[in-house]
Structure 1
Amino acid sequence: METNGIWENIAFLEKNQLSYCGQDCQRIPPALWNMYGAKVNYLDLSYNSIETLKGLDNFTRLEELILDNNKLGDNVSFPYLPYLQTLSLNNNQIENLESLVGKLSEAYPSLSYLSLLSNKACPNQLSDLDKDETDYQRYRYFVIYKLKHLRFLDSRRVSEYERGEALARGEFMRVRRPTCDVTKYTPSDVIVRPLPLDLASLGKHKGAYGKCLYKYTGKHSEGNRFILNSDL
């Protein structure tokens, strides 16, 4: 009973809504799903350091899940939750958009609200100054194409026009990533040979890099400036 009292002070439960925020935990504590898993339809785990969603499948009635400001990355697995409609993943460490939406489409068939702001996977100008509205719109088309039941994406309603565009060309809006490592070279790694080496012509070539000598035939006359063959 004493242990339950401690958890009730940390986790706030009201009307089937559970909040467990700002506790700096890296995973969902087993005590949470043991005590509340079958009761809640709203779960807020914001402002922690969560890296894995192990145990989330114990929240069998979950409809809304808030995971903002955590440390979820591309390797995270999303357990199957058939009733989940709202998912907020703002300010995590997700970079691979194609992988993410593939997982979400399988795990959450009822998903209608999704927010990914402040992840690298979301090309929003607020978090990435190199991106513009065109990049963001392409991202929206692709996500809407993959998650066909979405009604809201990043706090913006999905319009009928966007849905039509996503159906027509959303598949081609995916982000292509290199399939192999690209080696970076520094100038010292590269040997530059501007001219082929011809041993037979050594000592015969007259050209050289350097200053040219100019001769003038008239005083202060730029128009009479020329180079003699003997100067080469």
Structure 2
Amino acid sequence: MSVEGHVSEDESNKLTLAYERLYELPKTIVVRFSDHIRYLDISHNKITNLDALVYFKHLTSLIADNNPITENCFLPPLPKLELLWLNHCKISSLYPWVGKLTESCPNLQILSLMGNPAAPSFFNGGTFYEYLQYRLFVISQFPSLQHLDDRKVTEDQREEAFRLYRRPLVERIIKPGSGGLSQFMQSSVSLSNVQSRLKSFWGKEKQESRNLLI
């Protein structure tokens, strides 16, 4: 079955390719739509490589949920991208993937990674403490991020994220092949500094009866 894509007449800058059993973006689709599409939905496929997105120069929103995308998949430069959904993919490590994502999408405002192994939550067996580590680390990498997963980014979270995870420090401690962020979290170097700061921040939020996640 040939894939033509679905573009509504009222929204000619939107393209939906969801549930098409795609392993990659067809060349015919790229040639036909890449010069004007701003919203692209490729969710619920079998795509592992996003290199073809380099031709979508005007892309501002990308929905790629439920694809077997891993941390080895790096996005090409998408300077106009503001919204990125990668929920329920196969991303198991944040470092150095998040750093590469920051370089590719410097203006990202909305990011959702729910359901990935690298995004611990109650639903995949993660603790609140692990979720907090994950959330603050991601926020620290994206100065313009306004919304992460299903929650807004608050100013308190942003300030604490930058205090805990200054990029030069993280890059000195975490080396490629060292086990990623989870290894960093369990190391003796991080326990004396990062955990104490997180506990202090968490305690402050409880004391002031505020919900960190909202």
Look up the SS of the partner of 2:100 in the other structure.
Answer: helix
Which structure: greater helix fraction?
A: 2
**Superposition TM-score, scaled by structure 1 size:** 0.69
CA distance in 1, matches of 2:63, 2:121: 20
CA-CA distance at 1:28 after TM superposition: 1.0
Report if aligned partners of 2:39, 2:59 keep a CA contact under 8 Å in 1: yes
CA distance in 2, matches of 1:156, 1:13: 30
CA-CA distance at 1:24 after TM superposition: 1.2
Report if aligned partners of 2:72, 2:97 keep a CA contact under 8 Å in 1: no
| Equivalent residue, structure 2, for 1:200 | none
> 1:166 aligned to 2:161?
yes
Stretches of structure 1 that go unaligned for 5 or more consecutive residues are: 179-232
| Equivalent residue, structure 2, for 1:157 | 152
1:75-100 Cα distance to aligned partner (Å, 9 max, x none): 11210011000000001110111222
CA distance in 2, matches of 1:30, 1:102: 29
| Equivalent residue, structure 2, for 1:103 | 100
**Partner letter of residue 7 of structure 2?**
L
Q: Find 1:132's aligned residue among 115, 123, 127.
A: 127
| Equivalent residue, structure 2, for 1:219 | none
**Superposition TM-score, scaled by structure 2 size:** 0.75
**Partner letter of residue 51 of structure 2?**
K
CA distance in 2, matches of 1:132, 1:65: 29
> 1:70 aligned to 2:67?
yes
Q: Find 2:54's aligned residue among 49, 53, 57.
A: 57
The alignment covers a number of residue pairs equal to: 170
CA-CA distance at 1:39 after TM superposition: 1.4
> 1:25 aligned to 2:25?
no
CA RMSD of the aligned region, Å?
Answer: 1.9
CA distance in 2, matches of 1:68, 1:40: 18
Structure 1 ranges of 4+ moved more than 6 A: none
